[in-house]
């Protein structure tokens, strides 16, 4: 049989055999048969350079996380926070390290931080005795009992100035968060004796420095000699007259009647939208300021305390508030100019305190609790992938430059 498709004689009439012969000659001569096809347009070198620059910038942006991920997993022991983070101590080389430190947290001025979109709460508080140089961010989750009882904080130590939310935290603390500062009477007396027009500079009992301006308020708790605050439960004494009669029967003299005072029972949850409604009812007491004197004082107070476990017995105190500029020292007494020159014996003062806003200094630190180096290993692998991407684009940029 004859293959008609391969015979040129049977080609359609009118078709020239010239192009076929020309293609055959090109194939025999080794010429590129795709030379007439235009090459695709290549990417501009600037795009490759921009991609490489972006990749290297991202790696540089997470350099602190990369360094922390490669740091030792064993916590660096820093000891007592009052010594290590004292305002008189200058520290270097401790930031971005996994550390362990002991200290007393200031739960009074602590914050509960909620994460939007999540039903989780974390704590943010300062550590006492550090001059506001150490703050702790306690992440949500249960803590080991031994750690919580010992007030030991373990986690990542970072500089306050490196936080992305630094300005917001500083502004909120300085505008809304106040802390109580209690002063030793001897130091307060010495500071008032040598006071100048600019105010007082002293330390509280926790060791934190406090500066009091002349217009700042100072609260003085004054003991009332031989007087006791007595609270008798309402469920045992149905009315105030019965409670009054019981105190007088024990030898007390009523100085002041404060009526029915209601307080939360121990372990009760404050009322509010988060309350589950199963807390014990509040305790209601008929409260009086009574004077007990004479040799039978201790026996009378002991008898009142044994009436019921809800009985409250406290030293009667009076709180005198005055501006720093109104206080002066005169012998063994504190003179308060704002109350017609009242003289308060130093022996009768139980406590002196003030409220001051919390200011984080420029060299303050934040310890992110339970943040370990191994938690940042995924960042290390992602940074490696991004770096490889940058190298590939940089090589493409160099190749395009050689072609041009």
At 106-142, the pLDDT tens digits run 888 888 777 666 677 788 899 998 988 999 998 776 6
Q: Give me the pLDDT at residue 399, please.
A: 84
pLDDT tens figures, 237-259 = 999 999 999 999 999 999 999 99
In this predicted structure, which of 17-31, 62-76, 162-176, 346-360 has the lowest mean pLDDT? 17-31
Which pLDDT tens digit goes with each residue over 72-113? 989 999 999 988 888 777 667 788 899 999 999 988 888 877
Q: 240: alpha, beta or left, given left = phi > 0 and alpha = psi -120 to 50?
A: alpha
Tell me the backbone φ, ψ of residue 255, rounded to 5 degrees. Answer: -100, -40
pLDDT value, residue 270: 55
Which tokens in the block code for residue 17?
Answer: 């055999």
The answer to whether 210 touches 181, Cβ cutoff 8 Å, is yes
| Helix H or strand E segment including 45 | helix 45-61
Q: Which two tokens stand for residue 397?
A: 């940029």
Q: Is residue 346 within 8 Å of residue 334, measured between CB atoms?
A: yes
Are 208 and 129 within 8 A, CB to CB? yes
* Predicted local confidence at residue 107, as pLDDT: 83
Tokens, residue 255:
């100085």
Q: From 131, 320, 348, 332, select the one nearest 217 (Cα to Cα).
A: 320
**SS3 (DSSP) at 303:** helix
Which pLDDT band holds residue 15 (cuts at 50, 70, 90)? Answer: very low
Residue with the bigger pLDDT between 6 and 268: it is 268
Q: Is the pLDDT of residue 26 over 60?
A: no
Q: Which pLDDT belongs to residue 20? A: 54
The band of 277, judged by pLDDT with boundaries at 50, 70 and 90, is low
pLDDT of res. 162: 84
Q: Cβ distance 230 to 308 under 8 Å?
A: no
Q: What is the mean pLDDT of residues 202-213?
A: 89
159: phi then psi, degrees, rounded to nearest 5? -75, 140
78-114 burial code (b ≥16 CB/10 A, e <16): beebbbbbbbeeeeeebbbbbbbbbbebbeebbbeee
Task: Calculate what percentage of the chain has a pLDDT beyond 70.
Answer: 81
Tens-digit pLDDT profile for residues 53-65: 999 999 999 998 9
CATH 2.40.50 assigned to domain 76-178+361-374? The reply is yes
Mean pLDDT of 151-164: 88
pLDDT over 50 (residue 273): no
Residue 17: beta bridge partners? none
8 pLDDT higher than 50: no
**Are the C-beta atoms of residues 59 and 387 closer than 8 Å to each other?**
yes
Q: Is 328 helix (H, G, I), strand (E, B) or coil?
A: strand
Predicted confidence band of residue 144 (pLDDT cuts 50, 70, 90): low
- Is pLDDT of 169 > 50? yes
Residue 21 has pLDDT above 70, yes or no: no
Domain positions in the chain are 55-69+379-403, 76-178+361-374, 179-266+280-354
If we measure between CA atoms, which residue out of 202, 199, 206, 174 comes closest to residue 187? 202
Smallest CA-to-CA distance from 153 within 368, 391, 379, 313 is with 368
């Amino acid at each position: 049989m004859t293959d008609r498709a391969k015979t040129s004689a049977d080609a359609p009439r009118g078709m020239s055999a010239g192009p076929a012969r020309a293609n055959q000659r090109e194939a025999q001569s080794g010429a590129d048969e795709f030379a007439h096809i235009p090459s695709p347009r290549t990417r501009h070198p600037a795009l490759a350079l921009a991609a490489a620059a972006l990749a290297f910038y991202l790696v540089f942006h997470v350099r602190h996380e990369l360094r922390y991920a490669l740091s030792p997993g064993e916590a660096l022991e820093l000891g007592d926070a009052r010594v290590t983070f004292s305002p008189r101590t200058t520290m270097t080389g401790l930031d971005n390290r996994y550390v362990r430190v002991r200290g007393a947290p200031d739960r009074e001025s602590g914050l509960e931080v909620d994460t939007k979109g999540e039903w989780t709460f974390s704590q943010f508080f300062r550590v006492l005795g550090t001059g506001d140089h150490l703050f702790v961010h306690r992440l949500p989750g249960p803590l080991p009992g031994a750690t919580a009882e010992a007030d030991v904080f373990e986690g990542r130590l970072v500089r306050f100035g490196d936080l992305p939310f630094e300005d917001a935290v500083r502004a909120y603390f300085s505008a809304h968060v106040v802390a109580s500062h209690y002063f030793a009477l001897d130091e307060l007396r010495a500071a008032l004796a040598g006071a100048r027009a600019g105010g007082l500079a002293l330390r509280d009992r926790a060791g934190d420095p406090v500066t009091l301006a002349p217009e700042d308020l100072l609260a003085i708790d004054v003991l009332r000699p031989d007087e006791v605050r007595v609270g008798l439960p309402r469920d045992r004494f149905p009315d105030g007259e019965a409670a009054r009669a019981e105190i007088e029967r024990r030898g007390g003299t009523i100085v002041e009647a404060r009526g029915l005072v209601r307080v939360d029972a121990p372990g009760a949850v404050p009322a509010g939208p988060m309350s589950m409604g199963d807390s014990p009812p509040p305790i209601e007491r008929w409260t009086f300021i009574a004077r007990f004197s004479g040799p039978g004082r201790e026996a009378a107070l002991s008898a009142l305390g044994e009436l019921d476990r809800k009985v409250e017995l406290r030293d009667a105190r009076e709180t005198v508030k005055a501006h720093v500029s109104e206080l002066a020292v005169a012998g063994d007494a504190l003179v308060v100019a704002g109350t017609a020159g009242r003289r308060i014996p130093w022996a009768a003062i139980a406590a002196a305190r003030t409220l001051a806003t919390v200011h984080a200094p420029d060299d303050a630190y934040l310890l992110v609790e339970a943040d370990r180096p191994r938690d940042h290993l995924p960042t290390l692998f992602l940074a490696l992938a991004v770096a490889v991407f940058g190298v590939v684009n940089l090589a493409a940029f160099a190749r395009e430059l050689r072609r041009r």
